[in-house]
Amino acid sequence: MQLYTDAATEPATKQSAAGILLIDNGHQQQFKQILPMTDNHTAEFLAAIAGFKNLIDHYGPEQAVFFYTDSQIVAESVSKGYSKSFAVELQTLLHLQDQCQVVITQWIPESQNHGAHQLAQQGLHLAH
């Protein structure tokens, strides 16, 4: 199971949206979701949380997951199991990940996260 997440935030309005791409044996499921108004870093955590909620809702817990994010702060926080600034969001994310059989988190450059990025941009336009 592969999970790609991304967030888009308009700095002026703080309107945010998540893009979520789930790939299971070559079958894609795409989700876009409006997020609470916030900054981009928080939105990246919220997008990851929404991604794992969608995964668990649609496929159940106990999945083996490759989780891809272009947010270095999300990837590093998950890896360390610690975040000073995003402790609440990280704990929520880790709790969801704990329901999975195994989660391998990998940071990828934005150029490799086009699917989730496009969905987040589309979600942002839905918010208007």
Three-state secondary structure readout of 50-109: HHHHHHHHHHCCCCEEEEEECCHHHHHHHHHCCCCCCHHHHHHHHHHHHCCCEEEEEECC
What domains appear along the chain, each with residue ranges and CATH number?
A: 2-126 (3.30.420.10)
Q: What is the mean pLDDT of residues 86-94?
A: 98
Q: How confident is the model at residue 126 (pLDDT cuts 50, 70, 90)?
A: confident
**pTM assigned to the model:** 0.96
What are the tens digits of pLDDT across the range 7-53? 999 999 999 999 999 999 999 999 999 999 999 999 999 999 999 99
> Cα–Cα distance between 123 and 22 in angstroms, integer?
16
Average pLDDT, the chain: 96
